[in-house]
């Protein structure tokens, strides 16, 4: 009896320890009917705002769906539907929860030529020209989620993502243009997760 009870308790502890965090603010869990989450509503998923006369774009991406990616065309400053992204292959970045893919990489299904350079400790505002080298394409892991540890850090204690302040990215787009890009937050002003804030601006190509 004692052995059976001990085994049951161990099994219970294992199950509890492996159970997902059911709180609405858990950054990796959505689509559970919590207010402000789910990603199931139809309509635009990307909001782009011109921040200043220099052409800086402030972007809010609704990446709350756990099944569908949201596609961004940097060249057109526009969201592409899934059908448009597949038909034109003009998308540059795609978002699903914390994962951010780019449209390029022979080891992926992304057929474009998008490539990304990761610049550590380079301020977004100071960057005016794209580097000549250091560009990478997605493989088994995306560049934005893997290079230099990825675009965010995750605090396991509070289940919260924080965008990396020390990383600025340069994206060579599907049209061959260059954009500097910075992630600002994984949360919107209401604190809802998978509502990614980022900033980008077209810059000059390499010398």
Residue the block writes with tokens 């400790």: 121
User: CA 143, 149, 153, 156: dihedral to nearest 10 degrees?
Assistant: 120
Confidence of residue 108 (pLDDT cuts 50, 70, 90): confident
Cβ atoms 138, 104 nearer than 8 A: yes
Q: What is the pTM of this model?
A: 0.81
- Per-residue pLDDT reduced to its tens digit, 164-201: 999 999 999 999 999 999 999 999 999 999 999 999 99
pLDDT of residue 178: 98
**How far apart are the C-alpha atoms of 104 and 111, rounded to whole Å?**
6
Closest CA to 66 of 23, 33, 97, 37: 97
- Per-residue pLDDT reduced to its tens digit, 52-93: 888 999 999 999 999 999 999 999 999 999 999 999 999 999
Cβ atoms 103, 89 nearer than 8 A: yes
pLDDT of residue 27: 53
pLDDT of residue 53: 82
The domain limits of the chain are: 26-203
pLDDT of residue 154: 97
Dihedral of alpha carbons 72, 75, 78, 82, sign? negative
For residue 3, give the H/E element and its range: helix 2-18
Cβ atoms 181, 200 nearer than 8 A: yes
Q: What is the average pLDDT value for the chain, to the nearest integer?
A: 85
Cross-strand pairs, 71: 80, 94
Q: Does residue 123 surpass a pLDDT of 60?
A: yes
């Amino acid at each position: 009896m004692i052995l059976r009870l001990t085994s049951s308790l161990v099994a219970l502890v294992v199950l509890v320890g492996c159970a997902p965090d059911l709180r609405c603010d858990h950054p990796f869990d959505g689509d559970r009917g919590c207010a402000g989450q789910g990603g199931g509503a139809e309509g635009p998923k990307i909001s782009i705002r011109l921040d200043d006369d220099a052409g800086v774009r402030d972007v809010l991406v609704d990446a709350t769906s756990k099944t569908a990616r949201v596609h961004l065309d940097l060249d057109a400053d526009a969201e592409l539907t899934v059908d448009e992204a597949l038909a034109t292959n003009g998308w540059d970045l795609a978002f699903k929860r914390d994962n951010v893919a780019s449209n390029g990489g022979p080891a992926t299904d992304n057929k474009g030529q998008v490539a990304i350079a990761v610049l550590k400790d380079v301020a977004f505002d100071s960057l005016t020209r794209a580097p000549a080298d250091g560009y990478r394409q997605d493989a088994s892991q995306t560049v934005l989620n893997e290079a230099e540890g990825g675009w965010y850090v995750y605090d396991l204690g509070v289940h919260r993502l924080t965008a990396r302040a020390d990383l600025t990215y340069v994206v060579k787009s599907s049209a061959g243009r260059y954009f500097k890009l910075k992630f600002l937050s994984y949360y919107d002003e209401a604190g809802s997760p998978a509502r990614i804030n980022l900033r980008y601006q077209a810059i000059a190509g390499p010398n």
